[in-house]
Structure 1
């Protein structure tokens, strides 16, 4: 998945992943059909099981997404990025009623700083 997929609200992310299940199954089946029908079905089922696990898992924390990007983000830029992504993830109503606090953003920036080295 790319960064945009990770930032989506959990509901939107789950919905998008659910929509691709038949396509993933079909592609995996077709890719392994040369090994026989049973093997192709087993591989297709395994691919869908992995996708289901991803669909049900919570999206990564925003600071983890930033750290995985490999970008060196200033605190000022991180604050703006975090607010936007938090709003996208929450949706317009929840974001308006419950915006990210300054403390949440500061904590996230510190976590981003600690995690940057984990992805190089």
Structure 2
């Protein structure tokens, strides 16, 4: 298999995580709203889903998992998780925003919706 260097570097950045969970503790969605704790996984777990979703050789589709089970829609991109990361991982810019874009493209893009309706298998 051949992969572009940019794809390799993207997943290597996520693997620098030392799992200190400072991003989880800082995330205001989890910290300030008790009712969101059960519906929102938090930045660390969403970053792991994004790492697997963006790997070029991985064929599993985790977009629905990210949206429905992990609560990606609750994240409002305040970048507080990125600011506290001791490994300087750009969680918001390189993991959460691209993952949100993938979910939105598959779920809300009218052209994709029409293509799915016309070309069902």
Shared topology, TM-score over 0.5? no
More helix by share: 1
* CA radius of gyration, larger in: 1
Which interval holds the TM-score relative to the shorter structure? under 0.3
